[in-house]
Structure 1
Amino acid sequence: MSEGVERADDTTPATGLEAFFSRGMDEVLLDPRVTEQVQAALDALESGTARAATDDGAGTWRAHPWVKQAILAAFSLSELTPYPQWPGGAVDKSLVPAREMSMADGVRVVPGGTSVRRGAHVSPGVVVMPPSYVNVGARVGPGTMVDSHVLVGSCAQVGRGVHLSAAVQLGGVLEPVGARPVVVEDGAFVGAQCGLYEGVVVREAAVLAPGVTLTASTTIHDLVRERTHRGEVPSGAVVVPGTRPARGDYATAHGLSLYAPCIVKYRDADTTAAVALEDALR
């Protein structure tokens, strides 16, 4: 396990928050302390003392349902509010507006339409190019590059030193509350226009070529180790888009193929050099 992938007990918040939001939603919303507790939960997510999912130390990522319950409570309690200070004006839920980033955050947010929403953690050293969106409950680790037109969906977990290239989409998840979010571990490189959805895990230092799309049910064919993977890209794997012949007479007659991403190698010095980001760009 790398330094940047924290164990579940490394970011355990005050037990009061977890206990409060682990009850049924009806009971939570009727509690007179709910607004105060929602704000405390969002503060904990922003500071990084709480997170939507953590590695259990054995390589399994587990969602924390109480965090999603707190976010859902924030939406339920919110009213639509205008935000005229944003270019062109904006209207959003009152408890989860866009954050106003400052020098104290240690994050470089280039002007041009980017939003980091309340309840999202963006670590010092992150660079966010415009326009991009980091949604509530998401976490972006130190030194990560978020390139233009990137979506880091609700509760997605992005590690240290990751490169999310232009137009990458990391799907979000709030319901069901126990569902694992998308996870991109430390040092991974996600190529332009890749899409990761349904709780896919990209392991440490993996490389996804441009255009790779993965869901929980996508079969990844490992041409190196001669096996298949679903829902997870192994550490250091280099994945490219591929195809395989579709079955059946009709498919054969029309020369049809199905999408089949393939692992063509595992990361080596040449791969690392090819995906390295110049320090000057940070």
Structure 2
Amino acid sequence: MTWSTLLDNLENGSQRAANQDEHGNWHANVEVKEGILAAFRAGQNIEYPGGFVDKDNLAPRGFAAEDAVRMVPGGSSVRRGAYVASGTIIMPPAYVNIGAYIDTGTMVDSHALVGSCAQIGKNVHLSAAVQIGGVLEPVGASPVVVEDEAFIGAGCVLVEGVVVKRGAVLAPGVRLSASIPVYDCVNERTLEKGEAIPPFAIVIPGSRPASSDWAKAQGLSMSCALIVKYRDEQSDASLELEEVLR
């Protein structure tokens, strides 16, 4: 398969940069990521209108009315090789990078980034200034995944292959990475390294004391995340405004 065919397949959703197995776990599609890297190697830098320079084979995508994608004017861009399903709303300015997958009914709010190969599910809300990290190399590294119905609050940062399961809610300012611990205060346990944010968890930013004696003496703390409850009818009602905005 040529890199051009691969990019077409990524755009129509027939291939993805990551896939979910029968157990619900996500794995990088190495062949796809290798094809994306081949496209970068094949491209030549050219000038685009507006003073931009990028690869000649990775021009920004355009949308027609029949695509049923609402990309509001004001500086947003969706790169070649990204999938954006019908019913998606992209507010300006936002950026969706190559290999990303955004399923139907999702809101990408202002100043949000959906990084390369990131996988975003159905009816997700990515609030203003959310940063979804991308990954192309190493090719075996899994991208960030946000599953269906999740709500990611303003200013959240998700990197290093973090997975947020269906229906979870991240409060504004939550930062998740492979090295930031997540404490489940409901079930009184610490999530294992690499473990996904559980379905319907409500997560807020937290802090924990630094471990060294010197750091303790200075009163220093480190970032963490806290699961403080799981969604119920009351918390679901607080998210109903999202449907009105659509």
TM-score (norm: length of structure 2): 0.96
State the SS of the aligned residue for 1:100: coil
Separation in structure 1 between the aligned mates of residue 20 and residue 57 of structure 2, nearest angstrom: 28
Instruction: Provide the residue aligned with 2:143 in structure 1.
Output: 181
Separation in structure 2 between the aligned mates of residue 93 and residue 261 of structure 1, nearest angstrom: 39
Instruction: Provide the residue aligned with 1:223 in structure 2.
Output: 185
Instruction: Provide the residue aligned with 1:71 in structure 2.
Output: 36
Q: CA deviation at 1:133?
A: 0.3
Q: Percent identity?
A: 57
Q: Counterpart of 1:204 in structure 2: which amino acid?
A: R
* Contact 2:180–2:223 under 8 Å retained in 1: no
Alpha carbon RMSD of aligned pairs, Å?
1.1
CA pair 138-255 structure 1, distance change in 2 beyond 3 A: same
Instruction: Provide the residue aligned with 2:26 in structure 1.
Output: 61
Instruction: Provide the residue aligned with 1:236 in structure 2.
Output: 200
TM-score (norm: length of structure 1): 0.84
Kindly indicate whether residue 112 of structure 2 is the aligned counterpart of residue 150 of structure 1: yes
Separation in structure 1 between the aligned mates of residue 187 and residue 111 of structure 2, nearest angstrom: 34
Q: Counterpart of 1:94 in structure 2: which amino acid?
A: D
Kindly indicate whether residue 212 of structure 2 is the aligned counterpart of residue 255 of structure 1: no
Q: Counterpart of 1:48 in structure 2: which amino acid?
A: G
Q: Counterpart of 1:42 in structure 2: which amino acid?
A: L
Separation in structure 1 between the aligned mates of residue 118 and residue 232 of structure 2, nearest angstrom: 27
Separation in structure 1 between the aligned mates of residue 220 and residue 142 of structure 2, nearest angstrom: 34
Summarize deviations over 1:95-122 as a string: whole Å, max 9, x none. Answer: 1111112112210000000000000000
Summarize deviations over 1:83-140 as a string: whole Å, max 9, x none. Answer: 11xxx33211111111112112210000000000000000000000000000000000
Instruction: Provide the residue aligned with 2:237 in structure 1.
Output: 273
Q: Give ranges in structure 1 of 5+ residues lacking alignment.
A: 1-16, 18-36
Q: Counterpart of 1:235 in structure 2: which amino acid?
A: P
Instruction: Provide the residue aligned with 1:124 in structure 2.
Output: 86
CA pair 279-248 structure 1, distance change in 2 beyond 3 A: closer
Moved over 6 A (4+): none
Q: Counterpart of 2:167 in structure 1: which amino acid?
A: A
- Report the structure, 1 or 2, having the larger strand content: 2
Kindly indicate whether residue 126 of structure 2 is the aligned counterpart of residue 164 of structure 1: yes
Separation in structure 2 between the aligned mates of residue 185 and residue 209 of structure 1, nearest angstrom: 16
Separation in structure 1 between the aligned mates of residue 38 and residue 210 of structure 2, nearest angstrom: 45
